[in-house]
Structure 1
Amino acid sequence: MRVKWLKPYQLGSIVMQLSVGTDSTWSLRTMIGTKIAELPVDLHVFSLQCASCKSVLRSLSPTGLVPFLEDGSLRLHDSLAILEYFNELSDGKLYPTDQGKRALSRSLCAEMHAGFSALRQTMPFTLADVSPLTAFSPAQTADIARVTTLFASAEGPFYQGDKPTAVDAFYAVLAYRLQHYGVRLQGEAGQYQQQLVAWSFLQEALAQLTSTAACSHP
C-alpha cells in the first residue's frame, strides 16, 4: 500500500522511495530516521501478514525484506545502511558533530542492530495487545540490565542531549517494546524510556503503520 509521508524527496527529478512493513522494527527505525534527517520520502507500506504483499515485495527488494530504499538507481536494503545514507543526504543530522560522540553513536546503533537477542525472541514486536510479562529468564534479565545501563547514560531528553540522533531512532522501538510487555525501567533509565515512548516521531511512525495494517488483497 502506498501512502504519503509528507512530500517526496527529490534529487533533481529522482524521487526517493522507502518501502516498509507492518510490525517491522527496522522499518520504524528508518521512518524515524527520515524525520530526524528532515528528508520526506514516498512511503510504501506492505502488510507482512499478506502473502500477496510479500510476493510484490520480493519482486522489488533484493532480499525480499523491509526496509528497502530506492533512490534513482541506488538500492539499499539494510536499516543501518539506510540511516547512514540519510545522514549523508542531510549533512550529518543523524549523528553528533563531536567525533567521539559520533563514534559512540555508531557503536550503540550497531549493538542494537546485532544484540538483545533474548528480548527479540521472547518479546516479538507487535502493535496488538499482549499480556505483560511477570517472570524473566536469565537471558532476558541480562538484556534488560544492559538496556537499563544504556538508557541511564542518556545526556538529556535524547541520548546525546537536546537533539535526536540515530541512537534515539534505533532505541525508541526497544523502549516501546519493553513497555508494551509491561517492562518500565526505573530512575534515569525510566525517564529516557518514557521520553522515547512519548516521542512524536515514534508515535507518528506507529500510527502510520497502524493506519495501513489492513490489507486490500483477498
Structure 2
Amino acid sequence: MELIVGRDSTWSLRAWLCAKIAKVEVNELIIDLTKPDYKQTLLSYSPSGLVPALNVGESVIHDSLAIIEFFNEQSSGALFPTDELQRAEARSLCSELHSGFFQLRQQCPFSLDPVEPLAELASDLNVEIKRVESIFEQAQQPFMYQHAGAVDAFYSILAFRLQSYGITFNGKAGEYQQSLLNWPLLNQAIEVAMEWRKS
C-alpha cells in the first residue's frame, strides 16, 4: 500500500498516525504542495487532487476519513472503541475536526516552524477553542477512550497546533492536551513531518 501525503498537511499526518496505531504497513509518497505544478503531479495519484490518498492495488481511497476506516477494518477495529455508542461518538469527533473548525484553520494555520503566540483571541476563534476544550474534557485519560485511537490521532495534531500559538487548557482538558503532547507517537509524527520537508 502506498500512502500519498503532502508536506505540512495535517490530514496526511492524521492518516499516518492512524496507520501506525493500526499497525498497517504503508510506503509514503511525498508531494511538495508548495510547487506550482503540485496539483498536476497529485492528480496522477489521487483523483480528487487532494492528500492524503491511499493506493491499494488498482484502487485509490482518496479521503482521510475513508482511509482511516479502511485501516480500522484492516486491523480488526484497532482505531475505534469496542462499545457501539462510544464508537459512534468517536466517529463524530473525527468528522467534526475533519470538516469544521474553520476559524482555527484560518487564524492558527498549522506550522512546524515557530509562530507568534496569539496575544488575544478573536470572538469567533474563541468559540471554536471553547468547543475543543469541551471535547478534551471528555477524555478518559491518557487517551480519549480505552486506548490510543483515531480520535487521539486527529486531536493530537490540533493539540500541537494550539500549543504553538500559546493556547493551553487547564483542568481535565489540560491533562488530555498534555497527554497528547507527551505521546511518543505524536512526537514521532512531527519528526516524520520534518523529514517530509527534506524529500
TM-score of the superposed pair, with normalisation by structure 1: 0.88
Instruction: Determine whether 1:116 maps to 2:117.
Output: no
TM-score of the superposed pair, with normalisation by structure 2: 0.96
Cα distance between partner residues in 1 of 2:29 and 2:61:
15
- Say which of 58, 63, 70 aligns to 1:73: 58
Task: Identify unmatched segments of 5+ residues in structure 1.
Answer: 1-15
Residue in structure 2 matched with residue 189 of structure 1 by the alignment? 173
Q: What is the count of residue pairs matched by the alignment?
A: 199
Instruction: Tell me, yes or no, if the aligned pair for 1:19 and 1:68 is still in contact at 8 Å.
Output: yes
One-letter amino acid of the counterpart of residue 18, structure 2: G
Cα distance between partner residues in 1 of 2:23 and 2:157:
19
Instruction: Determine whether 1:21 maps to 2:6.
Output: yes
- Say which of 174, 189, 194 aligns to 1:205: 189
Residue in structure 2 matched with residue 3 of structure 1 by the alignment? none
CA deviations 1:187-207 (Å, max 9, x no partner) are 110111111122122211211
User: What secondary structure is seen at the aligned counterpart in 2 of 1:18?
Assistant: strand
Instruction: Determine whether 1:170 maps to 2:142.
Output: no
Cα distance between partner residues in 2 of 1:203 and 1:136:
27
Matches within 5 A, 1:7-18: 16-18=1-3
CA deviations 1:84-134 (Å, max 9, x no partner) are 010001100001111111111111111111111111111111111110001
Q: CA deviation at 1:57?
A: 1.7
Aligned CA RMSD, in angstroms, stands at 1.2
Cα distance between partner residues in 2 of 1:157 and 1:166:
14
CA deviations 1:36-81 (Å, max 9, x no partner) are 1011211112221123554322222112211010011111111111
Instruction: Tell me, yes or no, if the aligned pair for 2:4 and 2:45 is still in contact at 8 Å.
Output: no
Residue in structure 2 matched with residue 151 of structure 1 by the alignment? 136
Q: CA deviation at 1:209?
A: 1.7
Residue in structure 2 matched with residue 105 of structure 1 by the alignment? 90
Identity of aligned residues (%): 46
Cα distance between partner residues in 1 of 2:32 and 2:175:
33
Instruction: Tell me, yes or no, if the aligned pair for 1:68 and 1:76 is still in contact at 8 Å.
Output: yes
CA deviations 1:16-48 (Å, max 9, x no partner) are 110101110100100000011011211112221
Task: Identify unmatched segments of 5+ residues in structure 2.
Answer: none
Residue in structure 2 matched with residue 39 of structure 1 by the alignment? 24
Instruction: Tell me, yes or no, if the aligned pair for 1:22 and 1:213 is still in contact at 8 Å.
Output: yes
Cα distance between partner residues in 2 of 1:74 and 1:59:
13
Runs of 4 or more consecutive aligned structure 1 residues displaced over 4 Å after TM superposition:
none
User: What secondary structure is seen at the aligned counterpart in 1 of 2:29?
Assistant: strand
